Amino acid sequence: MTDVKSEDTKKKTGWSRRDVLKATSAGAAAGATPMFFTQNAWAEEAIGNYPVKGSEVVLGFNVPQTGAYADEGADELRAYKLAVKHLNNGGGMLDTLKPSKLTGNGILGKKVTYVTGDTQTNADASRTSARRMIERDKVIMVTGGSSSGIAIAQQYLCNELGIIFMCGLTHSNDTTGKDKQRYGFRHFFNAHMTGKALSPVLSKEYGKDRRAFHLTADYSWGHTQQESMQEFTEKEGWSTAGNIMTPLKTTDFSSYLSQVLNSDADVLILNHYGANMVNSLTNAVNFGMRDMQKNGKNLEIVVPLYSRLMAKGAGSANIDGVLGTSGWNWALQDEGSQVFVKSFTDEYGFPPSQAAHTCYVQTLLYANACEMAGTFYPPEVIKALEDFKFTGAGNGETLYRGSDHQCIKDILVMQGKSPSARTSEFDYLKIVDQVDAATVDYDPAIFGGELGPYIPA
Amino acid sequence: MDMTLNAFTLSILTGLQLGSIYVLIALGLTLIFGTLGVVNFAHGALYLIAIYLAVSINNAFGFTYALIIVPPLLFVIGVLLERGLIQRFYDRPHTDQILVTFGLAIVIQELLKWVFGANNIPFAIPGWGNGILFLHEYLPFLEGFVVYPKWRMILVAVSIVTVAAVFALLHLTRFGLVIRAGMRDAEMLQFLGVNINRRFMVVFGLGAMIAGIAGVFGGPVTQVSPEVGMGLLVPSFLVVVIGGMGSLGGAVLAGVLIGMAQSFTAPYINANTIIIYLITVVVLLVRPRGLLGSKGVFE
């Protein structure tokens, strides 16, 4: 009876116990088959705050809201908010960035929101703030920083926690050199590129027979900036009279300037940034160094890394004629720059700084990489960013170099404008030269360092 | 770097000039401590208020107005501060005084940053003080071309005059006599019927006024940004400690000593960074009351 019943059952449903078992085994085997047999598939293990849950994705903007770089941080934050607005609603560089998969509908269909943190221009504070964003606010990406020491500290932390870090304003060679990380990316240029772009202009302007004295901020950026300036000015035939490291918190540089006065140098190179540069340059002017002659030549002052905010702090009478470099300037006429300047000015009433530019672009590039990868899964997003070539973001054709995560792009040689040459309250610097990407390119191997694995240990 | 006579002279001048700022700030600090027994960590913030007032008035109306308005205004601010806040902490432990004044310093710093921004505000030196002095024209032993900014020499002179005025006030006037007596034994003075509290209020105002003078003349040297106050507070406080808590002469001596030490170690970053702390440690080990400190004070 039983057999007959069983036979009947099989006929009715078409399934036997054995069939079910077979099907289950086959299903299990298929499920266990590694995904790499399928094109563009990835092992969807949890990394950092991936997978992103819910209908929103959170970005972490960690900028100096207090401390010496607070003004730059405030401008970075403005740029980030604008980037979020454009990512969610379209507009800005979404119209000029090419190639781009950004639609103005968030990232991968999720609405972009953000949290902010204060780095206080302090490595410990920046790490604490980044960790809070990652662990409490579940950000998928952290970006910001306005100092190389801070950027490097955050980059290490983010790499460890599997969170992509898109560097803000950081110019040290170390960020994408000896301290480079798989999860860290820098759009801003670096000290090496500054040296390479600026030195030929210096020798053309001031001659090949010059003797330079360096005053250098005593931290990662200052050190690499000094090395690069020394290397490239010496290649132009200059010699180096001396270098003094100055503590970062110095406000009165007279003791260092006395040493410069007492040397036989006829060029003073100020490897200082932000308030440091404002103070050292102003002090040097007070010491009469802009009107002095040494070795039968006019004593010249050079500021390798320039920003509009610094120029404003130093005052245009003091920066008149002084040469340096910038990553970007609001006066650039290309389509990407113009569209960014217009939307920023419409939103806030004044043009953006170079810090704002790099932060805005970094946010868009990250979002675009997610769209290209079709996922927030960090290793795939990283691969989408690596060796990504793009235009329409304000620096000509740009390569996000895969081997060190450094953007290779055009940079600007700038010169301070005299008070009478200024056309507006934001007009402090004029573009002397746009040095193309090929000229400032270099072999990433010279700085050593390892990117490390795609999946954090 | 070889130390030539030129270099030595420049280093001496730089040391004097660095010391001048420290002395001006430390003078107020030590005056307030010596009389009121309050460790005023907000003193750097008073200097900060002074430089922001000075740069605003200077850029709008000219330096003379800044010079006339800022020091008396700081006196008033000092008096208000003493009446409104500090006097409530006279009988409280030193830790409470430090916490409240330090907190006040942070509040003032952040308020100024909120109003003026974190960036530097250029402080133009008035025409008569601008430019450089050709030292080789005055000092025949110097070889070749040796120059120094005129303004920094003026700052040294202002510092000397201020120190002399404070000494004269304390040692040549009746007011000074009462204050010095109050520094020794405030209780006894009160028994004698002297309203010491009112005089202490004036002393606090005086300390703030010296910060005002420092701000007007020091602003173009230290520059005007919110970090300046805290940056100067630590060295100035160490100047007070090295000189001896409450000792005016000690503050002057220690200020010049620290300035010189910083000037002469300038080429060597490691020594330059630690030198003031090193001097503090050595002085306190050898002479716990400070160079010219009175016996029993903070020993």
Q: Across all residues in chain B, what is the average pLDDT?
A: 88
| pLDDT at site B231 | 85
| pLDDT at site A142 | 97
Query: A245 in contact with B at a CB cutoff of 8 Å?
Result: yes
A251–B152 CB contact, under 8 Å: no
What residues of chain A lie within 8 A of the CB of B124, using their CB? 315
Query: A288 in contact with B at a CB cutoff of 8 Å?
Result: yes
> Which residue from B113, B148, B223 is facing A70, i.e. has the nearest CB?
B113
What residues of chain B lie within 8 A of the CB of A223, using their CB? none
Does the pLDDT at position B207 exceed 50? yes
Local confidence band at B299 (pLDDT 50, 70, 90 cut-offs): very low
B221–A254 CB contact, under 8 Å: yes
CA distances from A261 to A256, A257, B15 (A): 9, 6, 15
Contacts of A332 (CB under 8 A, 6+ apart): A338, A394, A412, A431
10-residue mean pLDDT profile of chain A (457 residues): values are 44 50 54 44 76 95 82 92 97 95 96 94 90 95 88 94 95 94 96 95 95 93 94 96 89 87 92 88 89 90 91 89 94 95 96 95 97 96 97 94 96 94 90 94 94 90
**Do the beta carbons of residue A305 and residue A413 sit within 8 Å?**
no
**Do the beta carbons of residue A353 and residue A324 sit within 8 Å?**
no
Query: A63 in contact with B at a CB cutoff of 8 Å?
Result: no
> Which residue from A71, A247, A261 is facing B10, i.e. has the nearest CB?
A261
d(CA B176, CA B168): 8
Q: Over the stretch B239-287, which tens digit does the pLDDT of each residue have?
A: 999 998 888 899 999 999 999 999 999 888 888 889 999 999 999 999 9
| pLDDT at site A141 | 97
What residues of chain A lie within 8 A of the CB of B271, using their CB? none
Query: A67 in contact with B at a CB cutoff of 8 Å?
Result: yes
Q: How far is A303 from chain B (nearest CA, A)?
A: 17
> Which residue from A263, A288, A313 is facing B132, i.e. has the nearest CB?
A288
CA distances from A132 to A128, A158, A298, A322 (A): 6, 12, 52, 42
Q: Compute the average pLDDT of residues B36-59.
A: 92
Percent of chain B with pLDDT over 90: 48
A283, closest residue in chain B (CA to CA): B221
A256–B6 CB contact, under 8 Å: no
A313–B122 CB contact, under 8 Å: yes
Q: Has the ipTM of the complex gone over 0.90?
A: no
| pLDDT at site A146 | 75
Local confidence band at B3 (pLDDT 50, 70, 90 cut-offs): low
> Which residue from A71, A261, A286 is facing B118, i.e. has the nearest CB?
A71
Burial class (CB in 10 A: 0-12, 13-18, 19+), A454: middle
**Do the beta carbons of residue A183 and residue A143 sit within 8 Å?**
no
B13–A314 CB contact, under 8 Å: no
Query: A262 in contact with B at a CB cutoff of 8 Å?
Result: yes
Query: A6 in contact with B at a CB cutoff of 8 Å?
Result: no
> Which residue from A282, A288, A312 is facing B119, i.e. has the nearest CB?
A312
Domains of chain A by start residue, with CATH: 56-189+330-405 (3.40.50.2300), 192-326 (3.40.50.2300)
What residues of chain A lie within 8 A of the CB of B266, using their CB? 244, 255-256, 258-259
B272–A247 CB contact, under 8 Å: yes
Q: pLDDT higher for A36 or B123?
A: B123
Give SS3 for A318: helix
What residues of chain A lie within 8 A of the CB of B151, using their CB? 286
SS (H, E, C) chain B: CCCCHHHHHHHHHHHHHHHHHHHHHHHHHHHHHHHHCCCCCCHHHHHHHHHHHHHHHHHHHCHHHHHHHHHHHHHHHHHHHHHHCHHHHCCCCHHHHHHHHHHHHHHHHHHHHHHHCCCCECCCCCHHHCCEEEHHHHCCCCCCCCEEEHHHHHHHHHHHHHHHHHHHHHHHCHHHHHHHHHHHCHHHHHHCCCCHHHHHHHHHHHHHHHHHHHHHHHHHHHCECCCHHHHHHHHHHHHHHHHCCCCHHHHHHHHHHHHHHHHHCCCCHHHHHHHHHHHHHHHHHHCCCCCCCCCCCCC
CA dihedral B41→B42→B44→B50, nearest 10 degrees, is -160
Residue among B19, B15, B14 nearest B232 (CA): B19
Query: A399 in contact with B at a CB cutoff of 8 Å?
Result: no
What residues of chain B lie within 8 A of the CB of A248, using their CB? none
What residues of chain B lie within 8 A of the CB of A320, using their CB? none
> Which residue from B118, B132, B146 is facing A68, i.e. has the nearest CB?
B118
| pLDDT at site B33 | 85
| pLDDT at site A68 | 66
Burial class (CB in 10 A: 0-12, 13-18, 19+), A88: middle
B148, closest residue in chain A (CA to CA): A287
Percent of chain B with pLDDT over 70: 97
What residues of chain B lie within 8 A of the CB of A285, using their CB? none
Give SS3 for A351: coil
| pLDDT at site A71 | 80
Q: How far is A268 from chain B (nearest CA, A)?
A: 15
Q: How many A×B Cβ pairs under 8 Å?
A: 119
B221–A252 CB contact, under 8 Å: yes
Domain extent listing, chain B: 21-230
Q: How far is A271 from chain B (nearest CA, A)?
A: 15
| pLDDT at site A44 | 64
Q: What token pair was written down for B73? A: 């205004």
Does the pLDDT at position B136 exceed 90? no
